[in-house]
Amino acid sequence: MPNRLVNKVAIVTGGGSGIGLESALLFADEGAKVVVADLNLDAANRAVALIAQKTPNAQAIAVKTDVGNEAQVKALVDTAVKTYGRLDIMFNNAGIMHPEDDNAITTEERVWDLTMQVNVKGVWFGCKYAVQAMRANPTPVGGSIINTASFVGLMGAATPQIAYTASKGAVLAMTRELAMIHAREGIRCNSICPGPLKTPLLMNFLDTAEKRDRRLVHLPMGRFGEAIEIAQAACFLASNESSYITGTDFKVDGGLTSCYVTPL
Q: Is 94 in the site for ligand NAD (CB under 6 A)?
A: yes
> Contact at 8 Å (CB) between 51 and 5?
no
Residues 141-160 touching ligand NAD, rule: CB under 6 A, are: 148, 150
> Contact at 8 Å (CB) between 114 and 98?
yes
Q: Is 40 in the site for ligand NAD (CB under 6 A)?
A: yes
Q: Is 16 in the site for ligand NAD (CB under 6 A)?
A: yes
Element (H, E) at 62: strand 60-64
> Whose Cβ is closer to ligand NAD: residue 137's or residue 256's?
256
Q: Is 199 in the site for ligand NAD (CB under 6 A)?
A: yes
Residues 129, 164, 244, 260: which is the catalytic one?
164
Q: What is the DSSP letter of 153?
A: G
Report how far residue 154's alpha carbon sits from residue 209's, in angstroms, rounded to the nearest whole number.
26
Region from 32-40, 48-56, 131-139, 209-217 binding ligand NAD, contact rule CB under 6 A: 32-40
Q: Is 68 in the site for ligand NAD (CB under 6 A)?
A: yes
Determine the straight-line distance between the first and last CA of the chain, rounded to whole angstroms: 36
> Whose Cβ is closer to ligand NAD: residue 201's or residue 221's?
201
> Contact at 8 Å (CB) between 22 and 227?
yes
CA distances from 212 to 98, 100, 167, 216 (A): 17, 18, 23, 6
Q: How far is the CB of 69 from ligand NAD (least distance, A)?
A: 8
> Whose Cβ is closer to ligand NAD: residue 12's or residue 133's?
12
> Contact at 8 Å (CB) between 192 and 233?
yes
Q: Is 164 a catalytic residue?
A: yes
Give the binding site for ligand NAD (CB under 6 A): 13-14, 16-20, 38-40, 43, 65-68, 93-96, 118, 122, 148, 150, 194, 196-197, 199-202, 227
Catalytically active residues are 164
